[in-house]
Structure formats: structure tokens, C-alpha cells
Amino acid sequence: MIFQSINPATGEVIKEYQEMTSKQVEDILQDSYQTYQEWRRVSFSQRATCMAKAAQILRNRKDEYARLMAMEMGKPIAQGRAEAEKCAWVCEYYAENAEQFLQAETVETDASRSFIAFQPLGMVLAIMPWNFPFWQVFRFAAPALMAGNVGVLKHASNVFGCALAIEDIFRQAGFPEHAFRSLLIGSQQVNRVIEHPLVKAVTLTGSTPAGSAVAQKAGAMIKKTVLELGGSDPYVILEDADLEATVATCVNSRLINSGQSCIAAKRFIVLEPLRKQFETMFVEYMRARKMGDPLEEDTEIGPQARHDLRDDLHRQVQKSIQQGATCVLGGEIPPGTGAFYPPTVLSNVTTGMPAHDEELFGPVAAIISARDEADAIRIANDSKFGLGASVFTRDTAKGERIATYELEAGNCFVNAFVKSDPRLPFGGIKESGYGRELSHYGIKEFVNIKTVYVR
């Protein structure tokens, strides 16, 4: 099979990639396994030296990587540079902290010595999406490699250029040649890789259906999985919120990565006394954002990553309108080439509509009215997803209480938009997945938490 990398802004074919054969995949897995036998015994300081070098490469070549992301999946180039910088940050974070995170923990028992050791599992398969083609990979790879594992990546087929660039970064940074490899394969080969006896664990970021399929296959093989799946993040706006700051934050969250983010704000749940004022200001801020060529510095919204994804988004918008939602901004596919979709705002959104029940993966916002605080929390939790949530109020003690005890999500923020940070665990509940990435929790997902007891 031939895979094509297509510029979503122009429809131009950038490059074609020949799918790897079963033998090529087998050779990579065998080479990676042999590398693991050596890498697992390398000291933390040696691993950290390589990881710090990877961070340096990312920073030195961030313009190149940002352009690659813009060309392959349409990310505005300024956001691509920020993504490369964030990848450098996560590399540095684990280079500095992995040894401490994985120090043996002494436990007092009736033994002469008993402790908990953290040992690598082996080869970890990562199945990653196109929307953050560098960040999603590095936030798995940095902790996994620092723990002594090796990684193999099955990236989305429209960003194979990014996959090979990441492989090259680790190689240039001094990691063994086969410590991190990219498999240029389609989804039909994934099950065979999961089944392979040398693969010890699987991590996936992607859609809920994809996560379910991978979890079933890995579960049948008794292999550890971490899943970061879809989201329909609710943002609860209480009556006492700082309106201008709240609207600016909400719009930033909804439009980051041209709206193509699992943790972007999707549902804006506004108490009725504030709803009209919020909606008016929100539409103004959304309308002001510039959509255009992702290679231009001032572009804030690029194309959607593929035409089929843009068309699926438009169908969700149209169906919501047919079911009673009011389109107060956007909602029409613009003329011309490219997979563009304009900033769109739907009001009067209620349960049963795609804009309420499904993940809208693009620059489309759903405004939902709530009677009071309790009703807003009920609506926020009325979702099969549980990735992120945010609450806006001048009463930060109230906001903290709601975020801590009331909102059903893995990442709950107060007066800020949901984002990942290497220092904090990241992941979801319900159909948004399980397990955690980042922080000390993330590096411990793919280790053997081993009890050692000495009489």
C-alpha cells in the first residue's frame, strides 16, 4: 500500500510512503528487542544526557518541525513552534527527574530488607494521532525511554514525515539506533504488532472506538494499556465570572490547533442570566480570529487535517441545526481549495444533538443554557466523556470545590483552559480512557512495580 502525505491547505501531495512489509516490521521488532537488553542497563545519567540532547535538537530545529507539521496536517506555524518547544520541555523534565521518580522505595516489614523497585517492561507500542504529531509522541517517549524501555511508533498515516523526523531526533541525540523506531504501516497491521510476544505494552491516543479496539486486542493478550481518548470538555461559566477574561480564555481553548484537540473546550454551559451577554462577546471574539494559510505567521486557524474530517464536522453541525440548534456564526464550508472550516458558534444546544452528545473535532462551539449552578454541573457531567472540564467564577474557593468534588473528568481547571503539563498527570475517565501520562504517575505506567523481600 502507498500512503500519501497531503497538504490540507492546498490538496497537494507532498510525499508518498511505501508501507512496510511484515518482514520489515519483524526485523524492527527484533532489533528493538536486542537494543532493550542493553538499554535497560544503561545508567540514568547516560539516558539523561541523550534526552537533554533531544531537547536541544528540538529547539534548534523548531522552525523546520513547525513547517513539517503545517504541511502535513495544517497546524498554524506559530503553534507548531510552540509544540516543538513543549516537546523539548518534556524531554528536559524527565531527563532531570526520572531517576528520582524511579528510586527504590523502602518499606518496613518483618524482613531484614524489603523495598519496591521500578524496572522497565520492555518494548512499548505507541499508536498516535495526527493532531499534535510531535507532542503526543514525546509525552509517551520521554518517560518510557528514561525508564529503560524502548519504543515503536505507529503514527497516523498522514503524518509519516513527522514520525520519521522524531525517529531521527532520538538517533541524532545519541540513543541507540533501535531504541525508538517508527513503523510505517496501516491499521490492518496493528493487531499483529500488538500480538507480537516482544511487545509488552501499548499506549494509544485517539478516538474512543480506536481505543476500544486496541484495548480488546491488548486485553486478550494480557498486555498493559494506557488510553487517552476523545473528549467533549464542558466549560461551566457561573454568573459571577469575569466575563471578558472568561470569553478570551474560552475562545483560545476552542480554537487551539484549529479546534482539533481532545481537551479543547467543546460545550460552554452558561447560567441563563449571563448567557446572552456571554454569547454576544463570544461570537465577536470568534469572528475576529484569522483563518488562512498555516505557513503565514499571523494565521490563527488553519485547515482541518483532512477533507473527510472537515466534511464529517460539517455534517454534525448541520444535523444539530436540523434538530433545533441556532447557528449564530459560521456553519458553512468556504469556497476554494483546502479543508478549511470557519469558526462556528451554535446556540440553543440541547441533549440529543451531535453538538451536545458527540465530540466536535474542529472550530465549532456549543453554547448551552443552565438554570443555576446545580443544573450547570448536571449538564457538564451528562456526557460519556470525562477528559477535561473547567469552571469560571470570581469565587475561587467555590471553583475549587466544584472542580474537586463535582466535575467528572480527569483534568479540572478553575478560571483557565485545560492543558497538559509535564509536571501534572494527564488522562481521562469514562469513555475518555484510563491510565495517566506525564508527571511521576506517567513514568510508572510502563514499569514493573516490583516487590523485593529479603529475609
Which residues are tagged catalytic?
A: 228, 262
Q: Check if the beta carbon of residue 62 is closer than 8 Å to that of residue 156.
A: no
Reduce the DSSP state of residue 70 to 3 states and report it.
Answer: helix
List the Cα angle 209/422/427 in 5-degree steps: 25
Indicate if the alpha-carbon torsion angle 319, 324, 325, 330 is positive or negative.
positive
DSSP line for 170-192? HHHTT--TTSEEE----GGGHHH
List the Cα angle 299/300/304 in 5-degree steps: 95
Residues 6+ apart with CB under 8 A from 275: 367, 369
Identity of the amino acid at 281: M
Q: How far is residue 373's CA from residue 409's CA, in Å, rounded to a whole number?
A: 17
Q: Parallel, antiparallel, or unpaired: how do β-strands 123-127 and 447-454 relate?
A: unpaired
Q: 44-60 and 160-172 helices cross at what angle (nearest 10)?
A: 130
Q: Parallel, antiparallel, or unpaired: how do β-strands 224-228 and 433-434 relate?
A: antiparallel
Phi and psi, residue 108, nearest 5°: -75, 120
Q: How far is residue 359's CA from residue 356's CA, in Å, rounded to a whole number?
A: 8
Instruction: With CA atoms as reference, report the closest residue to 420 among 90, 127, 36, 162.
Output: 90
Q: Check if the beta carbon of residue 381 is closer than 8 Å to that of residue 409.
A: no
CA distances to 33, 37, 55, 304 from 178, rounded to whole Å, are: 8, 11, 19, 33
Q: How far is residue 281's CA from residue 285's CA, in Å, rounded to a whole number?
A: 6
Q: How far is residue 365's CA from residue 353's CA, in Å, rounded to a whole number?
A: 13
CB-based burial, 253-276: b 16+ in 10 Å, e otherwise: bbbbbbbbbbbbbbbbbbbeebbe
Instruction: With CA atoms as reference, report the closest residue to 34 among 169, 181, 155.
Output: 181
Identity of the amino acid at 405: Y
Burial of 191 (0-12, 13-18, 19+ CB in 10 A): middle
Q: Check if the beta carbon of residue 108 is closer than 8 Å to that of residue 327.
A: no
Q: Check if the beta carbon of residue 15 is closer than 8 Å to that of residue 65.
A: no
